[in-house]
């Protein structure tokens, strides 16, 4: 892919490949890859496939890494970013399963989201202030929970 597909968008998602030449602006956006399978030119799962969350299917043998479908090949950039920002195991396994430089860069640079929802943390905090009962106990008619 030695063209300007690194800056084109398709379906609202930009797939950036740092190994491309950004100087060529004659590429048709419809010719640019929309999934990582197209970007990798086959499969992106060319590393260690054993016990990896990116491989699924009935034929997958986690012990040997044989069979199965590489989920990376069917996902676009936004989907991969969403997964690795929320799942630390997927981030770890991404580094093991691929040798593609852009996917490895994503695994290193995409920030991880908190495992606790902000609203849940605030509710827990408010229930612990000044010995106040948990918020949900007040509305269910239950006696206050004492910690």
pLDDT digits (tens, 9 = 90+) for 98-127: 999 999 999 999 999 877 677 777 767 665
- 130 confidence band (pLDDT: 50, 70, 90): low
User: What pLDDT score does 35 carry?
Assistant: 83
User: What pLDDT score does 38 carry?
Assistant: 82
Per-domain boundaries in the chain: 4-109, 117-147
Q: Is the pLDDT of residue 25 over 50?
A: no
What mean pLDDT do residues 81-88 have? Answer: 92
Question: DSSP string of 33-88?
Answer: -SSHHHHHTS-S--S--TT-TTEESTT-BTTTTBSSEEGGGG--HHHHHHHHHH-H
Q: Is the pLDDT of residue 92 over 80?
A: yes
pTM above 0.75, yes or no: no
Pairing verdict, β 55-56 and 69-70: antiparallel
């Amino acid at each position: 892919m030695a063209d300007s597909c690194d800056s084109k968008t398709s379906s609202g998602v930009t797939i950036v490949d740092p190994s491309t030449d950004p100087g060529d602006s004659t590429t048709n956006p419809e010719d640019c890859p929309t999934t990582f399978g197209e970007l990798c030119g086959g499969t992106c799962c060319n590393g260690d496939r054993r016990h990896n969350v990116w491989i699924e299917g009935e034929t997958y043998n986690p012990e040997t890494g044989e069979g199965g479908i590489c989920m990376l090949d069917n996902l676009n950039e936004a989907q991969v970013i969403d997964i690795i920002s929320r799942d630390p195991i997927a981030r770890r396994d991404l580094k093991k399963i691929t040798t593609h430089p852009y996917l490895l860069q994503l695994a290193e640079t995409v920030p991880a989201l908190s495992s606790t929802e902000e609203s849940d943390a605030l509710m827990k905090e408010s229930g612990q202030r000044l010995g106040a009962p948990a918020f949900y106990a007040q509305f269910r008619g239950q006696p206050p929970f004492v910690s």
